[in-house]
Structure 1
Amino acid sequence: MKLIAIDMDGTLFSNNHTISENNCHAILKAQRQGHIVTFCSGRALHDIQEIIKKINLEAPIIAGNGAVVFHNKILQTLTIPVHILKKIMDIFNDFQLYYEIYTNKGIFIDKTRKEYLYAELNRLKDDPVFGPMVEQMVQVQNDQNHLLTVSDFSELNFSMLDPYKMYTVSLDEKKLNHLQQRLSERDDISITNGSHLTVEVGNKQVSKGNALLFLANYFQIPQADTVAIGDNLNDLSMFKAAGTSIAMGNATDFVKSHAKFVTKTNDDDGVAYALEKFVLS
């Protein structure tokens, strides 16, 4: 029996944000053979639950880059202490960035910061290079489940919400680099990137790799029998932890260099190919 951790965006999802029948069938085949498949994503728990419900799959979930581990119930939540959260919010506010706060009640955004994002997107929507990226960013943000808008974050009582991730997205890479430099001065948070256009902050112990090891221990599966499939920088900790690491064909060369195997792209059923070739065969 193996524990197979599969990333979602850029891995399980094709570029048009759908999950192919071939990928679904391969996952079901793995489950029927007695393997445990877990979906491991930077997305929020509520969001992942709705996604897999729509495709009639049941599986353990690793959400928020490893902050939340769920199997029939929440097994672990690594929250951001409120006093730290507020300091990080101040830093994000200094950079006038749109950001989201992931909690046990959903993903909160505030109206003012939403306007920051749309102002940035409107400036670039006709750009031949950034235009298509703008459309994709808008679609991904708007399609999230349990996305809740408030007039101002100050309305929220975070001590009752178990905040576990902060997320920002921007096409201003220079600003994001400066943000990341400032955040990296702290030793009380974890910082990761789902792409070069995002910065994600969590509890200092959070990583996909740590969550994979937690789940392997829960199911009493040896580390050597764990498998990780992913495409991006936030998957590297998972690659390091897993007995078998598989990078997507659409991953960067840097990410591929950290994996044992490389499969096909996310638009070419790379998850199904990886499972058939490296796990089920």
Structure 2
Amino acid sequence: MKIIAIDMDGTLLNSAEQVTYENAKAIKRAQAKGIEVVIATGRTYYTAANLLKKAKVNVPIICLNGADVRAHDGEQLASVPIDSESFIKIDKVCKKHDVHFEVCTNHGIYSISEDRSLQVRIDIVQSENLDFAESQVKEHFYEHVASGYLKFIESFNKILEFTNIEIYKVLAFSFEKEKLSNVKAELANDENLYVTSSGRNNLEINHVNAQKGIALEKFAAEREVAMKDVMAIGDNFNDISMLKKAGRSVAMGNAEEEVKKMCDFITKTNNDHGVAYAIEEMLKEYV
């Protein structure tokens, strides 16, 4: 293997949203052997980079499912934004089905409701059994608001009036599966959009060319690495595009069953340093 691509939530991060010492150590061991490690996440660069920095892991990052690609130093290498016409359609469809959504852009994240944005985060932590108290969720939320990373706006249409705006991803939330299914069904016929999910209660909506698999394939090609020499590790539906393309696909022990079935190997869970285990097992065979 010459490249290892690793998802973050449910994969590299444990349920406390931390990169464990074991995972960081395994990544550095792979790097020391000349293997390039890249993170492929649905997260924004801001949150992904901060978590990696805490663990002293320095790698390029495929952010927002491939809509924003960054080098080791944070330089933007590529972007694949959603076009205005498709965004207007997303806005209408989500409102029609009363689905709360937030918009990830090169200017930060936008929402139209502070109360609903906070409540969604609290509900997700509780439903996913993440190791966060409600007070911690609120603390992180208001830190993002104070920093200007999370902003509030009266109407999403106003975003289109901003200078040099790029809309990378729309993240829709609902604990009513029927609502999410209805949104996904209405957007399915838009050939400019790709709709997937990173959890049971969300939809991730990107430009059709903003997929982890497409971004990873381009990343490998630029380094003259064949996809057979790429290992990808993930746990959820937004990882499928890269897992399908990788020569060695690894599902986390906590992955969705559909993801496990399509992968070559299943590693330990994200709370048992599954990324480290997968890397160490690979190094035994290939290095």
Q: Would the TM-score normalized by the shorter structure come out above 0.5? A: yes
**Aligned with residue 249 of structure 1, among 243, 247, 253:** 253
Q: How far does residue 15 in structure 1 lie from its aligned partner after superposition? A: 1.3
Letter aligned with residue 212 of structure 1: L
Q: How far does residue 170 in structure 1 lie from its aligned partner after superposition? A: 1.6
Question: How far apart, CA to CA, are the structure 2 residues paired with 1:53 and 1:43?
Answer: 15
**Aligned with residue 229 of structure 2, among 218, 225, 232:** 225
Question: How far apart, CA to CA, are the structure 2 residues paired with 1:236 and 1:101?
Answer: 23
Question: How far apart, CA to CA, are the structure 1 residues paired with 2:228 and 2:125?
Answer: 44
Question: How far apart, CA to CA, are the structure 2 residues paired with 1:43 and 1:164?
Answer: 11
Q: Which residue of 1 aligns with 2:31?
A: 31
Query: What stretches of structure 1 of length at least 5 have no aligned partner?
Result: none
Q: Which residue of 2 aligns with 1:64?
A: 64
CA RMSD of aligned residues (A): 2.5
Q: How far does residue 257 in structure 1 lie from its aligned partner after superposition? A: 0.8
Contact 1:82 1:159 in 2 (8 A): no
Question: How far apart, CA to CA, are the structure 2 residues paired with 1:260 and 1:135?
Answer: 28
Change (3 A) 1:50 1:119: closer
Question: How far apart, CA to CA, are the structure 2 residues paired with 1:69 and 1:236?
Answer: 18
Q: Which residue of 2 aligns with 1:16?
A: 16
Query: What stretches of structure 2 of length at least 5 have no aligned partner?
Result: none
Question: How far apart, CA to CA, are the structure 1 residues paired with 2:128 and 2:238?
Answer: 22
Question: How far apart, CA to CA, are the structure 2 residues paired with 1:49 and 1:121?
Answer: 20
Question: How far apart, CA to CA, are the structure 1 residues paired with 2:165 and 2:283?
Answer: 39
Change (3 A) 1:267 1:117: same
Change (3 A) 1:146 1:263: farther
Q: Which residue of 2 aligns with 1:133?
A: 127
Q: Which residue of 1 aligns with 2:112?
A: 110
Q: Which residue of 1 aligns with 2:88?
A: 86
Question: How far apart, CA to CA, are the structure 2 residues paired with 1:39 and 1:277?
Answer: 19
- My pick for the range that moved more, 100-109 or 208-217, is 100-109
Aligned residues: 273
Q: How far does residue 31 in structure 1 lie from its aligned partner after superposition? A: 0.8
After superposition, the C-alpha distances for 1:192-243 in whole angstroms (9 at most, x for unaligned) are 1112211011111121110110100112212111110001111111111111
Change (3 A) 1:19 1:131: closer
Contact 1:97 1:116 in 2 (8 A): no
After superposition, the C-alpha distances for 1:95-147 in whole angstroms (9 at most, x for unaligned) are 22221111112222222xx444566789xx7xxxx993177597498387863
Question: How far apart, CA to CA, are the structure 1 residues paired with 2:108 and 2:46?
Answer: 7
After superposition, the C-alpha distances for 1:6-52 in whole angstroms (9 at most, x for unaligned) are 00000001112111100010011111111110011001122212221
Question: How far apart, CA to CA, are the structure 2 residues paired with 1:77 and 1:131?
Answer: 30
The secondary structure found in structure 2 opposite 1:132 is helix
Q: How far does residue 60 in structure 1 lie from its aligned partner after superposition? A: 0.8
Question: How far apart, CA to CA, are the structure 2 residues paired with 1:100 and 1:74?
Answer: 22
Change (3 A) 1:244 1:82: same
TM-score, with normalisation over the residues of structure 1? Answer: 0.88
Report sequence identity in percent: 32
2:176 is the alignment partner of 1:172: yes
The secondary structure found in structure 2 opposite 1:196 is coil
Question: How far apart, CA to CA, are the structure 2 residues paired with 1:14 and 1:22?
Answer: 11
Q: How far does residue 53 in structure 1 lie from its aligned partner after superposition? A: 1.7
Change (3 A) 1:57 1:132: same
Contact 1:82 1:158 in 2 (8 A): no
Letter aligned with residue 268 of structure 2: K
The secondary structure found in structure 2 opposite 1:212 is helix
Contact 1:97 1:117 in 2 (8 A): no
Q: Which residue of 1 aligns with 2:54?
A: 54
2:280 is the alignment partner of 1:276: yes
Q: How far does residue 155 in structure 1 lie from its aligned partner after superposition? A: 4.0
Change (3 A) 1:201 1:131: closer
Question: How far apart, CA to CA, are the structure 2 residues paired with 1:119 and 1:163?
Answer: 24
